[in-house]
Amino acid sequence: MNAADMKDPELRAALRELEIFAGITDEQLDWLVSVSEPRILTDGDILFRDGEEATGFHVLLSGGLVVTKVVDGREEVLTRHSTEEESAAAEEHDGKPSAAHRFTGELPLLTDGSYVATAAASGPSTTVVAYPKPVFFEMLTRCHGVAAVLIPVLAWRIKSSEVQARKRATVEALGTLAAGLAHELNNPAAAVARAAQELAPALDRLTRTAQAWGAAATGAERSLLDRVADE
């Protein structure tokens, strides 16, 4: 079934099951259904991209989303949203609220900025409902119960972003330290290697010189040298 063909009663029932809309009235729910824009994504379809202007608030009805960001040329998975209880539980080890699995995109809307990551569908079929920016702000004023669920999730996401940023900074600092240590260790190692290469010819010259001196030295001189060596 195409998302655009989703009937109002189906959509109404699906929205009513979500924690973020659990506290709204029937009248508010009727309005919410009337402004909803359902959409079905297949695996890998992009919901929004990092750096794009934030235009909508997205509610996950079924399936999953993976949120990624390119850091230092590498794509990192920031989090995953899923409607499956087992997958959602696996993501809650870092204190992620259960409600956080079911919506995304609110932070850049509230800050009037751009999306700070890329969200893509994960799995064969993902159904989301989009609410354009003006509708999202009207939702907050019309449906007071929405903010009560959204704010704790928002606080967790900000904290999570700070933790991830600190982790990246720590890894970068460790990388710099490791590079510095390698440089410091490599310099003495290189000096020893060069000295070892020069040691063989030096010993050869020393042996030849000692043999030549030994042939020319008197017995008294050799005896004196032996006493000095013993001392």
Q: Tell me, what's the pLDDT at 27?
A: 94
Length of the chain: 231
Neighbour tally for 110: CB within 10 Å: 15
Parse the chain into domains and list their residue ranges.
Answer: 3-157
Neighbour tally for 158: CB within 10 Å: 11
What is the distance, to the nearest Å, from the Cα of residue 93 to the centroid of all Cα atoms in its chain?
16
Give the pLDDT band of residue 171 (cuts 50, 70, 90). low
Estimate the share of the chain in helix, then strand, then coil, as percent rounded to the nearest 5. 60, 25, 15
| DSSP-assigned letter for residue 157 | H
Residues 6 or more apart from 95 whose CB is under 8 A from it? 156
Residue 128 has pLDDT above 70, yes or no: yes
> 175-203: b or e for each residue (b if 16 or more CB lie within 10 Å)?
eeeeeeeeeeeeeeeeeeeeeeeeeeeee
- Please give the CATH topology (third level) of the domain spanning 3-157: Jelly Rolls (2.60.120)
Instruction: Compute the distance between CA of residue 102 and CA of residue 121 in angstroms, rounded to an integer.
Output: 13
Identify the CA nearest to 208 among candidates 216, 197, 196: 216
Q: Which amino acid is at 163?
A: V
List Cα–Cα distances, 160 to 80, 95, 130, 148, 173, in angstroms: 13, 9, 24, 19, 20
Identify the CA nearest to 77 among candidates 122, 111, 129, 113: 122
How much is the average pLDDT of 207-227? 71
**Residue 68 has which token pair?**
């990624």
**What digits encode the pLDDT tens for the residues 65-88?**
999 999 888 898 989 999 987 655
List Cα–Cα distances, 124 to 6, 43, 63, 86, 141, in angstroms: 18, 5, 8, 17, 35
Residue 225 has pLDDT above 70, yes or no: no
Give the pLDDT band of residue 52 (cuts 50, 70, 90). very high
Strand 46-48 to strand 37-41: parallel, antiparallel, or no bridges (unpaired)? unpaired
Q: Tell me, what's the pLDDT at 31?
A: 95
Residue 174 has pLDDT above 80, yes or no: no
